[in-house]
Structure 1
Amino acid sequence: MDSGAGGGGGGTLSEIYQSARRLLLRARDGLNRLEHIVSSSSSSSSSVNDLALAVKRDITQIQSLCAEMDRLWRSIPAKPQRDLWKRKVEQLSEEVESLNEIVSKHLVRQQKQMQEAKERTELLSGESSHILRIFDDEAQAMQSARNSSIMLEEAYSTGVAILSKYADQRDRLKRAQRKALDVLNTVGLSNSVLKLIERRHRTDKWIAYTGMVVTVVVVYLFWRWTH
């Protein structure tokens, strides 16, 4: 191990520190872009979430490097160098922790927004289904009412037709009844006339017979009186 650099293991302390600083710069740049996207009206949930996860991966890798550097600086023999690297690693760890808190808040906020959007979608979907069911029920009720109205109209028309037929038949029956009564009245009047004529005929016949008898009697009496 290089005591001046405090190196060891998979690289010197300086090399690991430089790698961690590059990752830190990239994480800061990603966080700036993340905040810009979030503030933009055209931001999408997928882009925000993907960028936040990328920054989160860089922070996790930096934290792993900080743990490695914390092990390495403790093995530096010289106290001044050991204290210097201690401050550097602690400062880097604090910066990474600060970034981690910001990104974690973004992820929590994003997850909350996605959950709310999902709940709104499910709610709207449920309300839409409920509204569609209401409309369907109302449509079925209206169709049933229309069918009932059509049936009533047909029944009314049928009833009117039947009543009209009955009325027509009643008129025909009344006319037939009047004709029958007229015929019966006529027949009755003819019978009366015939009976009257027959009685008159009999009367005339008896008058004729009576006249004949009277004439014979008168002739006989006159003949007897003259002889």
Structure 2
Amino acid sequence: MEGGGGGTLSEVHQSAKKLLLRCRDGLERLERLEHSTSTSTAVSGVDSELSFTVKKDINQIQSLCVEMDRLWRSVAAKPQRDLWKRKVEQIAEEAESLKESLDKYNSRSQKRSREAKERAELLGRMNGDSAHVLRIYDDDTQAMNSVRSSARELENANAIGEAILSSIHGQRERLKSAHRKALDVLNTVGISNRVLRLIERRNRVDQWVKYAGMLLTVVFLLAFVLWRR
């Protein structure tokens, strides 16, 4: 321990000032490390060790202040005693200020460590939830694929049904057309038969007229011959 008990007031004061300088330097290093370290990173071993060293030095300074407070009271001359009193109080105030700064740093450090731990736990839960979500997504994807497959099969079946209906409709139209043609043929045959019967009747009438004319002609010729005699 620098400037341990048993020294003069001046020696103890010098030891306290050296410790103050070392504490200030340590706190500055801690602040630089804090600003250069990501907020998501926990306190490193170097930070913890340096923080512990600074805290130890501050405690040592406060112990030296207690010793100096005892020593300055034994100074005979009042002016010198008042001077040492102010010096000791100044050292004590600086030590208290350094202690407050270190406590604030440690509070921030603990907060960063806690937040880092919470983020790690949250990330672990998120990874587990992500796996669960992926399983759900896979199940949903399989279900959607099954639905799409069923929809395609229904569309194919519908297309086949429409093709069959279209074929039946075409066959029905062809049957109707053939039926109309058959009726037309039958009607045409019926008309032809009537025409043939009329022609045959006309031929018979013509034959009768021809025979009657021939008979009348013969009768007329015979009558004319007989009359000439």
TM-score bin, normalised by smaller chain: 0.5 to 0.7
**1:108 corresponds to which residue?**
107
**1:54 corresponds to which residue?**
53
Which secondary structure state, in structure 1, belongs to the residue aligned with residue 12 of structure 2?
helix
RMSD: 3.1
- Of all paired residues, the percent bearing the same amino acid is 57
Separation (CA, whole Å) in 1 of partners of 2:80 and 2:8:
14
Separation (CA, whole Å) in 2 of partners of 1:42 and 1:112:
13
Equivalent residue runs for 1:174-193 within 5 Å: none
Task: Show structure 2 runs of 5+ residues with no match.
Answer: 148-229
Equivalent residue runs for 1:112-191 within 5 Å: 112-136=111-135, 139=138
Amino acid at match of 1:91: Q
Equivalent residue runs for 1:54-73 within 5 Å: 54-73=53-72
Q: Deviations over 1:183-226 (max 9, x none)?
A: xxxxxxxxxxxxxxxxxxxxxxxxxxxxxxxxxxxxxxxxxxxx
Amino acid at match of 1:89: V
Task: Show structure 1 runs of 5+ residues with no match.
Answer: 1-8, 150-227
Counting matched residue pairs gives 143
Could you tell me which of 34, 37, 40 is aligned with 1:38? Answer: 34
Moved over 6 A (4+): 140-143
How much has 1:11 moved relative to structure 2? 1.8
Q: Deviations over 1:106-146 (max 9, x none)?
A: 11111111111111111111121122233345557878x7x
Separation (CA, whole Å) in 2 of partners of 1:93 and 1:99:
10
Q: Deviations over 1:48-90 (max 9, x none)?
A: 3332222122111111111111122122232222111101100
Q: Does 2:12 align with 1:16? A: yes
**2:74 corresponds to which residue?**
75
**2:185 corresponds to which residue?**
none
Q: What is the TM-score normalised by the length of structure 2?
A: 0.53
**8 A Cα contact 1:49 1:107, kept in partner:** no
Separation (CA, whole Å) in 1 of partners of 2:137 and 2:32:
50
